[in-house]
Amino acid sequence: MSQSTLNDDELFGEAASEMREDVEESLAEAWDELPDPDDVWETDADNVLGVLNGLRSALDVGDAEDHLRDAKKWFTMGQRADAFDDADDLEAELEDLEEVIEDISSAGEQVGELTSTIPGLRSTLEEAAGDDDEDEE
């Protein structure tokens, strides 16, 4: 098919289809980057700090945020160009993915706080136990 046989509507339809595919592909890549549920749930650590460090590492979303950004960029462009016949499914998936990433990031921050708090707490408890031992003597 020569380029002269394509009219503007056909070209726009083709571009809209490609834009939707780009959004869907970026969404799929973002979902794939999310942590594996078993990595978040299971551990081989010997102590609480090891568990927390493992969990913090497991809660890394990798490049999911970058893929989400790409999906949102192409989605916004497509919406503003009125290129999508029905974009409700894409919009809902974008919102779902964004919420999941926010939840994972929030959990990671909480685990990070615990990771930095637990060693100090242990030291405090060891000192308190040492004080108790001295008082008993």
Q: For 45-72, how does the pLDDT look when each residue is reduced to its tens digit (9 = 90+)?
A: 999 999 999 999 999 999 999 999 999 9
Amino acid (one-letter) located at 38: D
Contacts by residues 48-51 (CB-CB < 8 Å, ≥ 24 positions apart):
48/118, 49/115, 49/118, 49/119
**Structural domain tally of the chain?**
1
Burial zone of 97 (CB within 10 Å; 0-12 exposed, 13-18 middle, 19+ buried): buried
pLDDT at 7 over 90: no
Q: What is the pLDDT of residue 137?
A: 56
Q: What is the pLDDT of residue 1?
A: 46
**Which residue range is the domain that position 90 belongs to?**
3-136
Predicted TM-score (pTM) of this structure: 0.81
Q: For 81-93, how does the pLDDT look when each residue is reduced to its tens digit (9 = 90+)?
A: 888 888 999 999 9
- Of residues 52 and 1, more confidence is placed in 52
